Amino acid sequence: MKYLVLFAVLYIAYLVWRNNRIADGSASRRTPPAPPAPQQMVSCAVCGLHLPQPDAVRGADGRFFCGQEHRRLAGG
């Protein structure tokens, strides 16, 4: 009888170990998220600094600036 209990405990321990091992393996096979899409880069009309277009300030004439101060200096 004690061998039957020992066998049952070992079998349950094996099932738990196998279940954890399968769960760990599936987590490592997940694909990483895709990198963000590249952004259009523009340069400031005053100082030439390159920055992403969404971060740039556009003047009235369509030129890009790195900030409001350079936009004001250029008169655009």
Is residue 52 within 8 A of residue 39, CB to CB? The reply is: yes
Burial class (CB within 10 angstroms; exposed 0-12, middle 13-18, buried 19+) of 52: exposed
Q: Would you state the pLDDT for residue 25?
A: 61
Q: What is the pLDDT of residue 56?
A: 96
Contacts of 61 (CB under 8 A, 6+ apart): 76
Q: What pLDDT, in 10s, does the model give residues 21-61?
A: 876 665 556 788 899 999 999 999 999 999 999 999 999 99
Domain positions in the chain are: 1-30, 41-74
Cross-strand bridge partners of residue 64: 58
Q: How many residues does the chain have?
A: 76
Query: For the segment 61-72, what is each residue's pLDDT rounded down to a tens digit?
Result: 999 999 999 999
Q: What is the pTM of this model?
A: 0.54
